[in-house]
Structure 1
Amino acid sequence: MSDVTFKHPEYVKNFHMWDKVDDVCKGQDAVKAKSTAYLPRNNPHDTSQEANGFYDSYLKRAVFYGVTGKTLGSLVGAAFSTDPTFKFPKDLEHLERNANGAGVSLYQLSQSALRHILKHYRCALYVDFPDVEPSRNRAEEKAKQAYPMVHLLSSKSVINWDTITVGNQVKLNLVVIEEIISERGQDGFSTESKQQYRVLRLEDVGHGEFAYTIEVYSKSDKGVWVGSGRKMPTDYNGNPWSYIPFTFVGAVDNSAQIDNSPLLELADLNLAHYRDSADFQESVYYMGQPQYYVTGVDWNWFKEARKNGVYIGSKTLMPIPTDGTFGIAQVEPNTLSREAMKDKWQQMKEMGARLVEKGSASKTATEAKNDDAVQHSVLSLCTVNINEAITMALRWCAKFVMPNVDILTKDDLLYEISQEFNKQGYLADLSRQLFESAVQGHSSFKSWWEYNQSGMFPKQSYDEEQKNLEAEQEGKLDLTGE
């Protein structure tokens, strides 16, 4: 008997890693909610009420610093410091404002994709179209309000997959997507979450041909997963698809292979720092306060002191035993756990944690660029893979609404996240040089103006700059100011 809930071995193997990085990126509340999973008990075999109380205090005093989450945010911010380039035909203009049917733009969807890849190593894109009959003309198509949508799936949602080789091409022939849907309760306010599975298949229809089908499985009243029947989507021309419009998006490539997430090592180090923090905070609690002591004490003196009390302060007189002494012991500030925390903090910064520290030494542009080189090489590869996957998904969308997508070029259909992560910033000298060049007729005033507005050198070809220059000259621009 087939089991639609079966999980791919690689999914099972990596799920705990994805869960861990998610918790670390969410911050202290999520990490502490997992208690012993990330902060082990010192005496796991002692389950007494007293031991539990000690652990609860130990957990509450621990401090988790959200380094990994801040690094994730800064990397995404660096990738989108410049707006992506998005070129599309008129038939796909809805994707600019609503790419997935839930009001999320393609720009926002690509941001989420980058976050998933940095945390989990991969995510997935899936394109679908409403189950409607092919339209006979544009007016009929518009009346149906049917639009292709691009759905972003986390690594946790795609529980199973498989591939086959057709000719010399490796194609996905099975994808199982776990979905959570909400249904409104009878009272009109409450909601109930239900689970279902969307199964995408590439089926052999004979004569060496394959066709893409969809089937949704839901649980029956008897607790059995039942399919709703397979449907075969068609493109604009009414032809079945010879492949599944689905792609994985990874940190290294867009294959089905899974590797460690780019933030995994930083997350592990962040948790190690958290455990050192717990030990340090415990030592501060127990040993941080001054400890008073008296020497030369016998039991009679001790009992009398406990009976009458001992008062300490500049305005009190404290009797001490004959030949006895009174002193104060205080812990040195540089404890071992504190030193371990400092070491791990430095290691986290070296691994790419972008933290702004007040009072830190200034760096030259070259030094700052070298510091970012490793993380930006990873970030660059992630953005390249997202660019390719989204551009491919756009072509699938176009195949649903256009008779011939082969005529579309990169000038017609393209999504590209900029890889210029290290912004040079506005330079007054460069602005002056651009202005002087424009006055001399070697470049356009448009380029100088754009640089002053954005702080970035305009991206345009030599021919485009020549056209701008000619247009300004034909306008008889008065360069003398007279």
Structure 2
Amino acid sequence: MSDVTFQHPEYAKNALLWQKIDDVCEGEDTVKSKKEKYLPRPNAHDNTLENKQAYNSFLMRAVFYEVTGTTLTSLIGAAFATDPNFKFPAQLEHLERNANGAGLSAYQLAQTGIRHLLKHYRCGLYVDYPDVIPARNLAEFKTQKAYPMVHLLNAVDVINWDSVIVDNQKKLCLVVIREVISARGDDGFSKKDTEQYRVLRLESYGDYESIYSVQIYSKNSKGAWEAGIKKYPTDYNGNFWTYIPFTFVGAVDNSDEIHKPPLLSLTNLNLAHYRDSADFQESVFYMGQPQYYVSGVNWTWFDEAKKRGIYVGAKVLLPLPEKGEVGITQPDPNTLAREAMKDKWDQMKELGARLIEKGSAAKKTATESNSDDAVQHSVLSLCVVNMNEAMSIALRWAAKFVVADVDLLTKEEMLFEISQEFSKQGYLAELSRQLYEAALQGRSSFKSWWEYNQSGMFPKQKYEAEVINIEAERDGTINQ
């Protein structure tokens, strides 16, 4: 009996790692909600109520520093410091505002994709089209209101896959996607989530050796998984697809192989630092407060003093018997846990969390800072390059549903490209002055100087375009 919920062995091996990274990136509330999963209970064999209550206090005092999540956010911010270059034919203009049918634009899909890559080194892009006959012209296309959609899939939702060799090319022949469908309750307010599986296959059909099919599996009234009607999508010209319009996206390459997530080492250190923090805060709580003591007294005096009230502090007289003495004691500081935390903090900075401590960059030479950037950006660059390639491929698949001949579209007509210039130079007054002087001398355009003052970045344009701007400013035709 077939089991649509079967998980690929590589998926099963990595799913728990992905979940751990997701939890750490979510922050302190999520990590603490998992309790003993990330912070073991002292004396775990002791199941008494007192020990459980002591653990709750132990957990509450622990401090989780959100290093991994902050590093992730900073890297995504670096990748999207400038808007991606996005070009598309008129039939795909909807992708700029709603690429996946759920209101996310192509830009937002790409941002989420980079987030997945940094966390998991893996995500998926899948293109589909409503179950209608593809429109034959733009007017019919708009009337039909059926648009090709690009779906970004988290690695945890692609549970199974397989490949075959067709004409010396490796092609995906199976992709199983877990989906959650939400439906409003009968009361109009409640919501119920239902799980289903979308199965994409490359299989023989009639006279065709290998064509693409889609089938939905959902639970029937008896709770068993039941296959829906199998569909065979066609492109704009009515031809069946000879491949599955799905691609994995990775940071090393866009194959179906799973590689070690780049944030895994930082995640493990972040959790180790969290456990050290719990030990340190525990020692602070129990040993950080001073302890008062009285010597040379008997129990009779102590009982009488308790009745009167014992007060310690400035301007308070504490009467003592002859040879009685009051004092204060405090244990030596426990630095072991603190030192362990400091060591792990330094290691986390070396692994990419340099933005957490604001003053750290000032302690480094320019060469050292550039080297740190290069280490982080080498991972980010790979993610960006592969996301650009995958998004461009997905665009062509989407166009295949609405354009007669996709091969005629050039990169000037259809392109998605995230910039790889992560280190923005920022505004420099001296450079602005030099641009202005060059414009006065006719060697640069005032337009370039103005754009630099507005954005802090040197304008990106071809030499020929700059020459035209200079000549237009010289003869006064720039606004004509």
Q: TM-score range by the shorter chain?
A: over 0.9
- The reply on whether 1:225 has 2:225 as its aligned counterpart is yes
Q: TM-score scaled to structure 1, two decimals?
A: 0.93
Give the superposed CA RMSD.
Answer: 2.1
Q: What residue in structure 1 maps to residue 60 of structure 2?
A: 60
Q: What residue in structure 1 maps to residue 211 of structure 2?
A: 211
* Aligned ranges 1:67-466 → 2 under 5 Å: 67-205=67-205, 209-294=209-294, 301-302=298-299, 305=302, 308-309=305-306, 312-313=312-313, 315-317=316-318, 319=320, 326-333=326-333, 335-355=335-355, 357=357, 362=362, 365-466=366-467
1:317 Cα deviation (Å)? Answer: 3.2
Partners of 1:424 and 1:396 in 2: CA distance:
37
Q: Percent same amino acid among aligned pairs? A: 66
SS at match of 2:42: coil
SS at match of 1:372: helix
Structure 2: gaps (5+ residues): none
Partners of 1:122 and 1:102 in 2: CA distance:
22
Contact 1:376 1:421 in 2 (8 A): yes
Change (3 A) 1:351 1:306: farther
1:30-85 Cα distance to aligned partner (Å, 9 max, x none): 00110000000111111011111111111111111111111111111111111111
1:196-238 Cα distance to aligned partner (Å, 9 max, x none): 0000001134778310000001100011111112100000000
Q: TM-score scaled to structure 2, two decimals?
A: 0.93
Contact 1:312 1:318 in 2 (8 A): no
Change (3 A) 1:470 1:312: closer
Instruction: Give the partner amino acid of 1:345.
Output: W
Partners of 2:53 and 2:444 in 1: CA distance:
74
* Aligned ranges 1:34-49 → 2 under 5 Å: 34-49=34-49
Instruction: Give the partner amino acid of 2:93.
Output: E
Partners of 1:261 and 1:200 in 2: CA distance:
26
Contact 2:123 2:249 in 1 (8 A): yes
Structure 1: gaps (5+ residues): 478-482
Change (3 A) 1:68 1:182: same
Contact 1:369 1:422 in 2 (8 A): no
Change (3 A) 1:461 1:364: farther
SS at match of 2:240: coil
Contact 2:67 2:356 in 1 (8 A): no
1:472 Cα deviation (Å)? Answer: 3.1
Change (3 A) 1:330 1:90: same
1:367 Cα deviation (Å)? Answer: 4.1
Change (3 A) 1:15 1:360: closer
1:120-151 Cα distance to aligned partner (Å, 9 max, x none): 11111100001102334443332111111100
Partners of 2:66 and 2:13 in 1: CA distance:
26
1:86-142 Cα distance to aligned partner (Å, 9 max, x none): 111111111011111111111111111111111111111100001102334443332
Partners of 1:37 and 1:320 in 2: CA distance:
55
1:164-187 Cα distance to aligned partner (Å, 9 max, x none): 111221111000000000112222
1:328 Cα deviation (Å)? Answer: 2.1
Partners of 1:253 and 1:161 in 2: CA distance:
17
Question: Number of paired residues?
Answer: 473
Partners of 1:288 and 1:317 in 2: CA distance:
24
1:352 Cα deviation (Å)? Answer: 1.0
1:282 Cα deviation (Å)? Answer: 0.7
Partners of 2:372 and 2:192 in 1: CA distance:
49
Contact 1:311 1:318 in 2 (8 A): no
Partners of 1:303 and 1:249 in 2: CA distance:
79
Partners of 1:337 and 1:216 in 2: CA distance:
53
Partners of 2:288 and 2:211 in 1: CA distance:
71
Partners of 1:384 and 1:417 in 2: CA distance:
8
Deviates more, 1:463-472 or 1:306-315: 306-315
Q: What residue in structure 1 maps to residue 6 of structure 2?
A: 6
